Chain A
């Protein structure tokens, strides 16, 4: 059973506009969330994290929003650049270990 879901397999955005990637989870015990970017044949690259005690975290062009009541996570990229084109994964974990549950990814294409 998929505990973390990314319901949009793909997303296309014009360069300079905002990209919004969404993620939903079912386990209310999840307390730490990560976003990764992945290119083909490479390992995921860490982008940004958020813990459940916050509802927003920013790092440069990347902002993650957490809505615990809706069990919903989103990543905003502003402004989007062609180099942002990649597959984006969200991941969630609970407790003391580092066992993360990943979504199936959203392929972002930024059109120049």
Chain B
């Protein structure tokens, strides 16, 4: 089975711009979560989608949003970029939602640099 794929792998933007990141989960997986990793902060949960609906949300401002499509692919959008948004953005997929927590499998991440 192919793993979780994320595009693009690297991105450079300037402050004030907006960015969209894409994630394709493992085939058959229907839950997609997004995390932000910055130096010294570990991984911080952004949100989780299942059946095209946001199921959980972390403590991030409204500039961070996402969506999920009927084929379980997900996109994450960050508007009005700030320097502090520079990070590795990771997507993870799980087979199900709502039946107890499940192991998440991560993609390679998108490295975003905001100048």
* The one of B4, B6, B94 that contacts A98, using a Cβ cutoff of 8 Å: B94
B97–A45 contact, CB under 8 A?
Answer: no
5 smallest CB-CB distances across A and B, nearest first, come from A43-B106, A32-B101, A93-B101, A102-B43, A104-B42
A42–B108 contact, CB under 8 A?
Answer: yes
CA distance A23 to B47 in the complex (A): 24
Let me know if A62 is at the binding interface, CB within 8 A: no
Let me know if A101 is at the binding interface, CB within 8 A: yes
Interface size band for A: 20 to 34
Let me know if B90 is at the binding interface, CB within 8 A: yes
* Chain A 41-53: CB-based contact to B (< 8 A → 1; otherwise 0): 1111110010000
Given A96-B99, A97-B97; 19 other pairs, CB 8 A cutoff: A41-B109, A41-B111, A43-B108, A93-B101, A95-B101, A96-B100, A97-B101, A98-B92, A98-B97, A98-B102, A99-B33, A99-B48, A100-B43, A100-B45, A102-B35, A102-B43, A104-B41, A104-B42, A105-B42
Q: Which of A1-48 contact B (CB under 8 A)?
A: 31-32, 34, 36, 41-46
Q: Which of B9-43 contact A (CB under 8 A)?
A: 31, 33, 35, 40-43
Closest residue of A by beta carbon distance from B109? A43
* The one of B6, B48, B90, B107 that contacts A97, using a Cβ cutoff of 8 Å: B48
B43–A98 contact, CB under 8 A?
Answer: no
CA distance A101 to B40 in the complex (A): 14
B94–A43 contact, CB under 8 A?
Answer: no
